[in-house]
Structure 1
Amino acid sequence: MPTISIRAHGVSASKFQQVVNPETGEIVKLAAFQPPERTATKGWTPNVARRNEQRLQQIDFDAIDGIPAFVTLTMPAQQMGDVSAAMFHGWLKSWLRYMKRHGLQHYYWILEFQASGNPHLHVLVWLDHDCDPLETFKALRSWVGILNKSGVGARLQGQIWESIDVGGEITVDGERVPAHPERVLMYLAKHAARGVAHYQRQVENMPEDWKYRSGRVWGHDRGLPLREQLDVECDYPTFWAYRRLVRRWRLAEAQGIADPERRRMAIRQARGMLKCPRSDISPYRGISAWVPSDVASALLDAAEAMGGDYEEE
């Protein structure tokens, strides 16, 4: 039977994965016997992208204290042959330590690679105060200084700090995104989930050392407020009805987007969300979507009430 997982900002589905632990007799999920990929990961894989998206969907934004900002940190591509993944992650830790001394309360970072193989970091930070221009300059200069001490000629002009003023817009990878922490992370999660075929996910674009020992490609502080997901088992008639209701909700949401181009893209994605070439996972992959938990729960109640008796208009 299918299992529907409802998180704070998203929903997904999977096959029933409970088995009996041969040692204790306890009923557990099959995933408990499959430890996640650790530091030996080869960059972005489909599993890594999926876990990143699902973790982002668990963030309790209402419980986060602090003023948000969006930071992009880069380095020169021409020196990447001399930089190991361990060095890069060491620089990130050093920069985060600097930020913690200057009011950093929470953070979430995502590592990407440009077509040239140049890595850059997207970091969403929450600070205990509103930074003035001098403070943001010093924060970016600290990253450049950390790299320069290791012999890497980073430039201050390549680093970006954008305050997130709710109600406005900010630029993320050249695209305008509504200025809200959830919307920014939603964009980055969808970007990361595009798959390993995207140039920013291809192993071939990574420096040689990184292809086999890239380490983590996303992470956050341990104190970041998260909401537990709700796993609900249901029968197949309810599951099929639920899939169609989720798609219908996404279509309605897409049609309400003001920008014509973004609306067109969102409608096209919503219409095709249930399609997948792999028959073994198509029923479950299609349902993965960014849906508020209250909406996801209400749609499930509606699907159960219908008893699977639902026809698409």
Structure 2
Amino acid sequence: MGQRRSGKSSISSVVFHNVPPSETLYLESTVRIQKDSMKSFMDFQVWDFPGQIDFLENPGFDIDAVFGEVGALIWVIDAQDDYLEAVCRLNSTILYLQRNYPSINIEVFIHKVDGLSDDYKLDIQRDITIRIQDELSDEGFENAPVTFHLTSIYNHSIFEAFSKVIQKLVPRLGQLEAMLTNLCRTCRFEKAYLFDVLSKIYIATDSAPADMASYEICSDYIDVIIDVSMVYGSWSRSKAQRDKLEGPPWHQKLEDQVAVSFAESHIVVNEGLRPIMLREVDRYLALVAIMKEGSYEKMPLVNMNVDVVAKGLTEFFEVTKRGNEA
């Protein structure tokens, strides 16, 4: 949700449909609620609301149909525009949700910050945060689940922010993080991520502090592997599938762009840089790790440990899925 022209549809297109950021300039304004079903490690929907819809002032709006099963609300604010009205509407929305749907996480994307200086970005974030928290405090909601992110579709910040949103919705996330932390300790990895290959969102990482540089390297490495698989990989497609893939790849659904069987890769980018490894867990998930110097020399042992963790991750999501269905 958010005001008109704040960048909601562009965010959804870039993150979930692999649209190049430059192509989003030609997107039409959203005039009705767009529901987009995602087939991934867990099935979920992304609903894109037109900026002109104010469900609080529309008596005919079925609010429970929208928020009854929602895990997170992402409110997009254009940092390069006058955001006072957006903050006002957001405050009203948060107060309503806290009174009626308190379990929903509210994620505030302070968007389009790529053209702003670091100091100015932080000033805007501080101002918006204070305005929202003061209003919530006055209404008695000091501990409302509201998180703030600085985002742009022209760098990896939008994927980092969505990763944080999705992680809050993953059941028993701590167990995933513990598995990756143990793997890093055993194999002397510098950093490990569990990626959703289609969107480049990372579902979990180890306990070491995450930094944008390592995330960007691992994310870009997935693109390299996908490009190589598209050129040299071997898989069969029906004529209908081949016809479906005609035209630019960003005009297709992500699951139709990626079609690889079991994938595993190791690479040393350059002398002095850390080796990177990738191990596909299933069609949607891949384990990507940055290795420390010297660990590359023990690849048989590393591969054995990674295989064990990959099997454990597969079992984890199978058990979680069965539990959710039950």
Q: So what's the TM-score if we normalise by structure 1?
A: 0.27
Which structure has more relative contact order (CA 8 Å, sep 6+)? It is 1
| TM-score relative to the length of structure 2 | 0.26
Higher fraction of helix: 2
